Amino acid sequence: MEEFSGEEGSFNSEEASNSVKECIQSIIGEESYRQDTVNQWTAKIVEQALTLLVKQTKSYKYIVSCAVMQKSGAGLHTANSCYWDTVTDGSCTVKWENRTMYCVVSVFAVALTP
């Protein structure tokens, strides 16, 4: 996870991660895994995360993905790779869990050029 918060106008992964964690906690919290609700949860998480990221009023295009998986002893592996300007662009991945499920949210921020 890279963070470029030292430069003005650069992506701050810590700030983005905190926003995403707030979204997950407010939407899923201590709910128990329910297959019939997962689509609603994931849609709400990505929509709310995008709203909070855009409110930071930084010139970025954001891409947010979310996966929710029931805790069942199965493995889950994810990977991301990007080819971009490492000075201004950035990403973060938030891994969250409660007693019945895992949630993994990835945020990609691509700086808009003037």
31, 24, 62: which is closest to 45 by C-alpha? 24
The DSSP annotation for 42-55 comes to: HHHHHHHHHHHHHH
> Taking the domains of the chain in order of start, what are their residue ranges?
13-111
Which pLDDT score is estimated for 113? Answer: 78
The residues, ordered by sequence, that sit 6+ positions from 16 with a Cβ below 8 Å of its Cβ are 53, 90, 92, 107, 109
Q: Which two tokens stand for residue 58?
A: 């930084």
Q: DSSP strand E in the chain: where? A: 60-70, 90-97, 101-111
Which pLDDT score is estimated for 49? Answer: 96
94, 112, 92, 89: which is closest to 104 by C-alpha? 94
Q: Right CATH number for 13-111 from 3.30.70.330, 3.40.50.300, 3.30.1140.40, 2.130.10.10? A: 3.30.1140.40
Which pLDDT score is estimated for 114? Answer: 66
Spans in the chain with pLDDT lower than 70:
1-9, 114
pTM greater than the 0.95 cutoff: no
Type and span of the H or E element at 100: none
